[in-house]
Amino acid sequence: VYSASGKLITLIGWYNDDRKYITLPTPYFSKKVDWFNLDHALKLSFEKFNGLIYVVEGIFDTYSLRSIGLPAIGTMGADISMSKGELLKIFNKQVAIPDNDKTGKKAIRSNNAWHLPYNGTYLELRGKVRFDENNEYRIKDVDNLISWFDVDSVRNMLLQVGQSRDKYE
């Protein structure tokens, strides 16, 4: 994880157990203040997208959006503190895409739990995908959208949401 100025502030590793992520404790990092991928997203957002940012929960969701050329930051959890919410104000437009689970639904429905500024839009993921007659999967997160559907279609849909003035999509 890097600061907005590009300084390394901590290392996070993924481990396949209940914890999932292991974070190296450092005096320079706090999940209550820092965003994953902020340094890269700031540059891309203002150079190519007029200050548009996509806000997602996980590191892998962030990388999925980054892989299709979109500026994204990750909360590194399901909650966004007021401090993190204040940092969102530097962007001209925010699209928040919480996971399609109980915590993500709460973020959307509980009176702006993610502290989006006035010009932010929540995108709610819903639905299931059937790959064959025996397997049906719930769309859990933006990583599923990008890996299961046509990348250009997903990218175009997300860019359209980025143009929306609605609070919820």
Whole-model pTM: value is 0.89
Mean pLDDT, rounded, of the chain: 89
pLDDT band at 106 (very low <50, low <70, confident <90, very high): confident
Q: What is the pLDDT of residue 125?
A: 92
Q: What is the pLDDT of residue 44?
A: 97
Mean pLDDT, rounded, for 2-16: 83
For the chain, give the percent of residues with pLDDT over 90.
Answer: 51
pLDDT per residue as tens digits for the range 85-97: 999 999 999 999 9
Q: What is the pLDDT of residue 61?
A: 95
Q: How far apart are CA 87 and CA 78, in angstroms?
A: 17
Cβ contact 126:100 at 8 Å: yes
Q: How far apart are CA 150 and CA 147, in angstroms?
A: 8
Q: What is the pLDDT of residue 127?
A: 86
For the chain, give the percent of residues with pLDDT over 70.
Answer: 99
pLDDT per residue as tens digits for the range 41-77: 999 999 999 999 999 998 899 999 999 999 999 998 8
Q: How far apart are CA 46 and CA 28, in angstroms?
A: 25
Task: With a cut of 90, say whether residue 150 has pLDDT above it.
Answer: yes
Q: What is the pLDDT of residue 37?
A: 94
Task: With a cut of 80, say whether residue 112 has pLDDT above it.
Answer: no
